[in-house]
Structure formats: structure tokens, C-alpha cells
Amino acid sequence: MIKVTADIFSGRPNPQWIVSGAEAATALRALSQQPAAAANLDSGFQGLGNRGLIVEVLNDHSQDEYGVPAIFRLAGSGSSHESHARETAERLIAALTAHGAGDHPLLTSAEGALPLDADLMRFILGGLPAARGPLTHSAEQAETIDSASSVSATAACLIETTLFNPGFWNDPAHISRNNCYNYATNRRTDTFAQPGRASGHMYAHINCADVGNGAVSDGGTFACAPDSQKNRWYMALVIAPGPGFIDYHWYRKATQGFWGHKPGGTAARNVDNAGRVVVDPRTANRGPYTIFCRFMFAQKKMVVR
Amino acid sequence: MTTISVEADVYSGLQNPVWDLEPAEAVRFLALVAQLGSLDHAPAPAPITAGLGYRRLKITMTTERGVQRIVVANGHVFFHPLHDEPPRQRSDDGRAFERWVLRTGKEALGEEMLNALLS
């Protein structure tokens, strides 16, 4: 049994309903196949308007059976699997008109609450943050390979973006276990992921070619990716060449137009070393990461570890 | 017995270098901690612990009393609370303490990286 709250209003009571039986089991089973779709309550869009669904699992055995948290946010643009989250959210929203969904003893009756009807269902569905994102954009891609190479190609590719959501990455349980590669590929694996490790072709040296090819081996691409490979995150790779300080770093473009990044196990941010918002990783203050390698794309089939 | 491990929080993609102090180094470490300056004036500015490049040293000191976490950054040493004690701060004038700790990690850091961090 699931209690669902559409986190949508500021002043009046949020709509609540109960989903039970086969519908609840189907939704939880879907989430168990993609647990990352269930986001922390404080993640995602937190402003005025539709902030997604708050889902409470009301029986212990369901939490154990399906491996989902007792309470989580769904389709609030706070997870790394928003398309999956939205599919499940739509299923739960469709259940709000079911007989008895709104008059269950576990619900607190609130004065001023909207009736659970088809109009409300359409209203909630239409405003889900996931409906606004990931957004698809065109990316002008100017590539540079290694510092010694000149600009080698320019192409316009379609990409997706999500709202900058540092809370998802800065959660104390995850912040030190995910690095710039996790952030750029939007995959919170808790493994401090390395380019090429998941595919068995980890870089041998820290340079643009080896690290970039490691990411390609994981399923990233230098070329435009087809629609079937949504979500296609737009990433940028830079290198600290040394001497002494040798490392790589990645950025990912956000819906707001700037770029976010996560320096190692520290907090995700959208500013550079000079404290300026990163509007272009090529010109950002990158400290010792002086070589801009190239832009490239994560895509659906990409796996990192 | 006191064991002390150090992490140089420096990288973004790669794992940070970590190392343990030798017993003699741990003794010296405690002596240097005792010599750190006090901060009895205005609160210290926040250390630079974010961004790209070298950020801080993260030290874990394990004693019979428990595990003490210490952060060294920007000329300050921060002692996270142990048990019910309040957090403490000390001054690391000229970053002398930080430099000494970095030198204990010569093998883990590599000579070139160590020189880069000390410069």
C-alpha cells in the first residue's frame, strides 16, 4: 500500500491518495528495477509549483521486497533516471480516481482539498517537473583534441539537460563516493567511477586521448547520438597535465545554460576556481586543469563504474 | 597507540593519495599539534576546500579515546568534535604544519606532486 502526495501547492493542502493492490505492486516492482528513480525528499525542484510526488510505502514487507525507501520523491527532477520516475509517477497519478483512493483512514481529511477527479489528474500530470526536463537542445560542438591539436570539427548535436541539482550529489551518504565522471555522466554509482573501467578499457595514461577513449569505451560518444540514445548529456573533458599535478576533470551542461561539475569527493558546484558561474568550460578558471580536451556526449547505453 | 592516516584532497577524477604516518612520525605529529597557535581572536575565515586543485589535508587520528578527524587548510587546523567536546581550531602559521605533513607523504604523492604542492 502506498500513500501518494502531489507536492504541488504552497498554501492549500496538497492532494493525497492511497494506491493499493496490484497497482501498488506494479509501481513498486517498476521502481525496484531502477531504484535510482526514487529520489531523496530534498532533491530536485524545490520552488513554487509542481515538485513531483511524495511517495510513502506504508508496509515494511513492501520496502524489503522491492528495495525502495520508506519515503521518497518521484518525478521531481531529482533523480538520475527521470524518465523511469515519470513513468511510475504517471501510473500512480492515474490511480487517484480509483474508488476509495481519497477516503482511506490513513489520509487526513483537509479542508480546501481539491476533489480527486480527472481534472486534478490532468493538472498534476501536466505540471510534473519531469515533463519539462530533461530538455532537448542543440549543442554547437567545437572539439579540440590535446593542446597541440587545432579545432578539428564543428557540429550541431541534440542533447538533453536537467536542472542543476547539487543536493542529489552532495548528500553526505554519497558525496565522497562520486567524482567528476559520475557527475558528468549523471550516474551516481558510489564507485568513484573511472573512464573505461566498466568496459574493461580504463585509460593507461592521463591525457585527452586515453581518458576520452575510456569514456567512449563505456558507451560515450564524440559524435552526435540518435534520439534512441536519450538522455544525451553534454560533457566536457579537461586535463591537468603536470608536471606533478596530473589528473582529469569533467563538466556537464545544465538546463539553466551553465555547466555543473563535481571536483572529486567534494560538493557539486556551478562555479569555477574564481567563483564565477561556468558559462563555458573552455574559458572557466580551471586551476591546474589547463588543457581543454573536447566536448562529448554520454548516452543511454553508457555504463560507468 | 596512536595511528594517523592522511589524505591529500587534491584530485577530481583520480582517487586522492593516502598514506599512514610511521610511529616516529606520529609522535612528531602530536608534538607539532601541541605547538599550533591558538585562535583566540576573531573566527578564522573559511578555508578553501572546494574547487579544482589542491584543497586540504584530511587526517584521521585513531587513539584509545576514539577517532579524531582533522582538516588542515589555508593556514588553519580544524579538529572535528570528539565525543562531547566542541570543535577546535588552531592556527598553522606559514602553513608549516601542513608542509611537514605533506612531506611525510613523499612516497604516496611522488616527488613532482609533492614539489607542486609545496610550491
- pLDDT attached to residue A141: 55
**CB of A290 within 8 Å of any CB in chain B?**
no
- The pTM for the full model equals 0.68
Q: How far is A121 from chain B (nearest CA, A)?
A: 44
Residues of A in contact with B14 (CB under 8 A): 206, 247-248
**Inter-residue contact A133 to A163 (CB < 8 Å):** yes
User: For chain A, where are the alpha helices, taking DSSP H only?
Assistant: 21-32, 60-66, 82-94, 118-127, 129-132, 166-170, 180-185, 208-217
Q: Smallest Cβ distance to B53: which of A262, A267, A287?
A: A287
- Determine the residue type at A283: T
Please list every residue in chain A whose beta carbon sits closer than 8 Å to the beta carbon of residue B108. Answer: none
Give A219→chain B minimum CA distance, Å: 18
The tens digit of pLDDT for each residue in B79-112 reads 887 777 777 889 998 999 999 999 999 999 999 9
Categorize the per-residue pLDDT at A39 as very low, low, confident or very high, splitting at 50, 70 and 90: confident
| pLDDT computed for residue A116 by the predictor | 86
A232 touching B (Cβ < 8 Å)? no
* Minimum-distance CB partner of B52 among A243, A244, A273: A273
Q: Cell numbers 551516481 correspond to what residue?
A: A188
CB pairs under 8 A between A and B: 82
Owner of C-alpha cell 565522497: A176
Phi then psi dihedrals of residue B26, to 5 deg: -65, -40
CA angle A141, A145, A151 (to 5 degrees): 55
**B14 Cα to chain A: minimum distance (Å):** 6
The model's confidence at residue A108, banded by pLDDT at 50, 70 and 90, is low
What is the complex's ipTM, to 2 decimals? 0.89
A136 and A160 in contact (C-beta within 8 Å)? yes
Interface contact flag, A265 B113, Cβ < 8 Å:
no
Structural domain boundaries in chain A: 2-126, 166-298
- Whether A181 contacts chain B with CB within 8 A: yes
Over 80: is that where the pLDDT of A305 sits? yes
Distance CA A257, CA A162 (A): 10
Residue among A249, A266, A288 whose CB faces B13 most closely: A249
Q: What is the pLDDT of residue A104?
A: 75
Each residue of A209-240: pLDDT tens digit? 999 999 999 999 999 999 999 989 999 999 99
Please answer yes or no on whether A263 and B115 come within 8 Å at the CB atom: no
Contact A216, A222 (CB under 8 A): yes
Minimal Cα–Cα distance from B3 to chain A, Å? 22
